[in-house]
Structure 1
């Protein structure tokens, strides 16, 4: 039974054109994720699913497998991670002899997720006898200070006037998009990882490693963070 890493990297990106192959430091953004996946030694295959020939070529040069180009129906803004993963897994099962035990979705927009994080997720999967592990990060937001606003933006009732000091409020966590590790039955049903009776667990990553790049501003922040790491 095989453990497969899937790295989704379509060619079109409206907010940050060419982001997956834009250089961060001395290598393309996608290379950070490919190298982390390979270095983890957790996978029988590190597969990049893309619709773009240049991304495919660069991915292969860094050691990833790109056995197909993604169909146009899965290359637009509306394509979901669920559908992209399902297509890749079903393609492998139909065209190879691979029997898949786990899939790990590694988005190339998380360059500071490294091999140690991936190995820790697999250890947690084993220790918990879990169905899935998803990376999260502690949020700077406090629920007690958040609410919706009416049309006139009135603040009446916006927060509980008995609210605690910020440092006494409950810590909340958010998905950081870096690692989604799950067993084969969750392919095409990733939302079920968060169902009330699921056996999925969170892997908490440091905020410094949880940079997620979607915009030019995010990329500038990643470059700044990288410069600090080099000191």
Structure 2
């Protein structure tokens, strides 16, 4: 069984209450939650949260009743990895059958499409890595136009290559870690302590579907893009 997961902590310093805030006609969390419920590949859904409103909302929609997230996993510094591990084990106890893949959709990245979820799962099933992680092509490149200062304060390219790289097109391709869509081997999630211990492979998504809401400006930008996507003109 493939288990779908969403983490939605109550606290948010950048955009207070963002995970349950209305955007384009429904709570932010529902743009990810509904994708999981509508997918015929997802066998069960679990929501990890310390917010009673979000928890009751998710369970009413059909999420597993695992209780609220433990307090030590609801702080600003609590790692995503620990939240995933707890959710997997709590859900496993309720399901009574093995979980074959753990799929996490980031609540604050509502612009992904159903095809992104489907394609990420397909990549995981075909390549059999420890983990599939969503990425998008980076706008800046450490081999070309990302710089850092040395001890004397002079700037240098962050990752210099012999002979130098003088155009973006000839620079090695790099990606941004897009907090959107993840697919994990449950055994890897149980035994590892951090994301990159195993074979983690990229699932590339268009940058415009990877926007992550961390600030009021992000919220406005995503709201504008969603309104544009769901406008009558866009659906014709």
- TM tier relative to shorter chain: 0.7 to 0.9
1:215 aligns with 2:211: no
Match of 1:102 in 2: 101
Alpha carbons of 1:153 and 1:199: their partners in 2 closer, same or farther (altered >3 Å)?
closer
The equivalent of 1:128 in structure 2 is 127
Quote the RMSD (CA, aligned, Å): 2.2
Tell me how far apart the structure 2 counterparts of residues 201 and 111 of structure 1 sit (CA, whole Å).
Answer: 22
Cα 1:164–1:89 change in 2 (3 A) is same
Pair 190,217 (structure 1): closer, same or farther in 2 beyond 3 Å? farther
Distance 1:24 1:66 in 2: 26
| Equivalent position of 2:228 in the other structure | 228
Does the 8 Å contact 1:49/1:66 carry over to 2?
no
Q: How many residues align?
A: 226
Contact kept, 8 Å, 2:6 with 2:105, in 1: the verdict is yes
**Does the aligned pair in 2 maintain the 1:121–1:181 contact within 8 Å?**
yes
- Structure 1 unmatched runs, 5+: none
1:133-169 CA distances to partner (integer Å, 9 max, x unpaired)?
11110111121211222477433x4577954123443
1:116-139 alpha-carbon deviations (Å, 9 max, x no partner) = 111111211222233321111011
Q: 1:148 to 1:15 in 2, by over 3 A?
A: same
Within 5 Å, which residues of 2 pair with 1:74-223? Answer: 74-143=73-142, 144-150=144-150, 153-155=153-155, 157-158=156-157, 162-188=164-190, 189=192, 191=194, 194-195=196-197, 198-223=198-223
The structure-2 alpha-carbon separation of the partners of 1:190 and 1:103, relative to structure 1 and needing over 3 Å to count, comes to farther
Residue 136 of structure 1 contacts residue 204 of structure 1 at CA under 8 Å; is this kept in 2?
Answer: yes
Q: Which runs of 5+ in 2 are unaligned?
A: none
Conserved in 2, the CA contact under 8 Å of 1:31 and 1:62? Answer: no
Q: 1:128 to 1:28 in 2, by over 3 A?
A: same
Return the TM-score normalized by structure 1. 0.88
